[in-house]
Chains A and B, each alone.
Chain A
Amino acid sequence: MQLDPKTIDSLVEEITRQVLAALNEQSGRSGGLQRATDTASSCQQCEEKGAQRLSKTIRDDTRRPGILSDVQVTPQELARYIDHTLLKPDATYAQIAQLCEEARQYGFATVCVNPVHVRLCAQLLRGSGVGVCSVVGFPLGATPTNVKCYETQQAINDGATEIDMVIHIGALKSKDYDLVREDIAAVVRTCHNHGAICKVIIEAALLTDDEKIKACQLAKEAGADYVKTSTGFGPGGATLHDVMLMRQTVGPDMGIKAAGGIRTYQDAVAMLKAGATRIGASASLKIIEGARSAS
């Protein structure tokens, strides 16, 4: 890729202009806090794609755990809840290719990778039914909204179907709730305009319970599809307490992704029973093996 600064500059300006135009059009229509069905842009194809994805999300969500307490979950069913994850900075092409192969074989919901690997994963997983999940503002959440939106747009262009974004934690801590909400809403709009799902990472280990509740409320107000416990790079991962608290806060209509430190089949099932509808794990294969020996 030849990177002549002037060319990039003009391209960036053009892309930014188009994104902003799309965003303005959206916020002009209804104050900016909408669900995927009514956010899709003038592009008919996007609109259909967005609606399909949303109905898929809702279908996923109606398979709400609780169902698991009554029925034994099969390994195949469990796999559909898992984002098969590799976010190490030194991940190689070969490792990412293997991740995709495993995801295809086991039928995981998505592979979750850094933005540099989205294009490769989208190519390798075409037609497999496995989504490509990428991370934005990750893992610190400390890039400005315009950068998060640009990053989201690029990831979706490369083939991402789901975006896990990190909230502006510092702003939450200093109670600048409008900033936190608008930061989330802008990324959500970018996702929904292109038929992608948006998950909002609150990095619960850095928050008090009150802050966790507030973060979930803001994500819900911003129209996000999921709230997610942790990046996996913070001081702690998903806890049952946090998942239950988040489920209590967002109600039945949003997804919850538990991520960070989920290593075993028992961990995964406990998270689902507590109210999670998605599991982020790098130990996914071990979890599925656990499910096989349990069933």
Chain B
Amino acid sequence: MSRIASYTDHTLVRADATPEQIARLCREACEHRFAAVAVNEVHVHLASRLLRGTGIAVACAIGFPLGGTSTWVKWYEARSALRGGANELDVMIYLGALKDGRYDLVEHDLGAIVRLCHDHGARCKAILECALLSDDEKVRACQLAVAAGVDFVKTSTGYGPSGATVHDVALLRRVTPPAVGIKAAGGIRTYADAIALIEAGATRLGVSAQASLQILNEERLLMENP
């Protein structure tokens, strides 16, 4: 039984992902017992149908990857995804408002989605896009997300200038209560990357589909030949 798999959101959020590729993603998730598949909203319904009864969650990206839609639109998008069968939403925060110091906007924006998720028995992850933030801003964003009631804070979209770093995960872990998870995402390519991020405090990893299979393969080889 893979340890890494239970941490992993098996992810395919490319713009050109086809239903065939999503079906394969779901098959792989069942086979390797990943925590979730992470997909764009157009594929939520298919993924949720394919994974019904497997215990594997369907995570959907919202306001993704720019966070540049209004709260109303994020909320509508989130509701549509939850009705389509999503169990987890990865929501990009309103980054411009954070940069402007309009913290109440950031918190309200997230809070609306969190309440909606929890009403539907779903979990909400707030994406901070750490590569665009100073350390102070990361801490602030984390505090706002926690105040909004999120279940996870997440480092990156994978579309930003860079992905998860050990430094960011450790920082987020320090300022986030233990009940709130940390999802490291973006640029996780190897087993060593995955282990380093877990040791730094990550409780979930967002890994693109090809890389997650390679990481499991590396893990298996290491367990067979320690």
Binding site for B on A (CB under 8 A): 1, 3, 5, 8, 12, 87, 89-94, 114-117, 135, 138-144, 146-147, 150-151, 154, 158, 166, 168-171, 173-174, 203, 206, 233-234
Q: Which residue in A117, A141, A151, A168 is a CB contact (below 8 Å) of B73?
A: A151
Is the C-beta of B163 less than 8 angstroms from some C-beta in chain A? no
Q: Which residue in A5, A138, A142, A166 is a CB contact (below 8 Å) of B43?
A: A142
Instruction: State whether B96 touches A92 (Cβ < 8 A).
Output: yes
Instruction: Sample 12 A-B pairs with CB under 8 A, ordered by A number.
Output: A1-B108, A5-B115, A89-B96, A90-B132, A140-B15, A143-B40, A147-B41, A150-B76, A151-B69, A151-B76, A170-B17, A173-B18
- Min Cβ gap B45→A in Å is 9
Instruction: State whether B95 touches A142 (Cβ < 8 A).
Output: no
Instruction: State whether A141 touches B76 (Cβ < 8 A).
Output: no
Q: Which of B59-67, B164-172, B196-204 participates in binding chain A?
A: B59-67
Instruction: State whether B18 touches A139 (Cβ < 8 A).
Output: no
- Min Cβ gap B38→A in Å is 12
Instruction: State whether B42 touches A143 (Cβ < 8 A).
Output: yes
A115 partner residues in chain B, CB cutoff 8 A: 68-70, 73
Is the C-beta of B92 less than 8 angstroms from some C-beta in chain A? yes
Instruction: State whether B70 touches A89 (Cβ < 8 A).
Output: no
Chain B contacts with A in 37-86, Cβ cutoff 8 A: 40-43, 64-73, 75-77, 79-80, 84
Contacts between the two chains (Cβ within 8 Å), count: 129
Instruction: State whether A139 touches B65 (Cβ < 8 A).
Output: yes
Contact A173/B16 with A89-B129, A142-B43, A154-B70 known, Cβ cut-off 8 Å: yes
- Min Cβ gap A160→B in Å is 12
Interface-centre pick from B67, B95, B96 (highest chain A CB count, 10 A)? B96
Per the bound structure, the CA–CA distance linking A87 and B67 in Å amounts to 11
- Min Cβ gap A95→B in Å is 8
- Min Cβ gap A165→B in Å is 13
Is the C-beta of B27 less than 8 angstroms from some C-beta in chain A? no
A135 partner residues in chain B, CB cutoff 8 A: 68
Instruction: State whether B41 touches A143 (Cβ < 8 A).
Output: yes
A158 partner residues in chain B, CB cutoff 8 A: 70
Is the C-beta of B119 less than 8 angstroms from some C-beta in chain A? yes
Interface-centre pick from B73, B108, B160 (highest chain A CB count, 10 A)? B73
Closest chain B residue, CB of each to CB of A147: B77
Q: Which residue in A5, A94, A168, A174 is a CB contact (below 8 Å) of B20?
A: A174
Is the C-beta of B100 less than 8 angstroms from some C-beta in chain A? yes
Instruction: State whether B96 touches A5 (Cβ < 8 A).
Output: no
- Min Cβ gap B47→A in Å is 12
B18 partner residues in chain A, CB cutoff 8 A: 170, 173-174
- Min Cβ gap B49→A in Å is 15
Per the bound structure, the CA–CA distance linking A102 and B72 in Å amounts to 29
Closest chain B residue, CB of each to CB of A231: B15
Per the bound structure, the CA–CA distance linking A206 and B92 in Å amounts to 24
Closest chain A residue, CB of each to CB of B129: A89
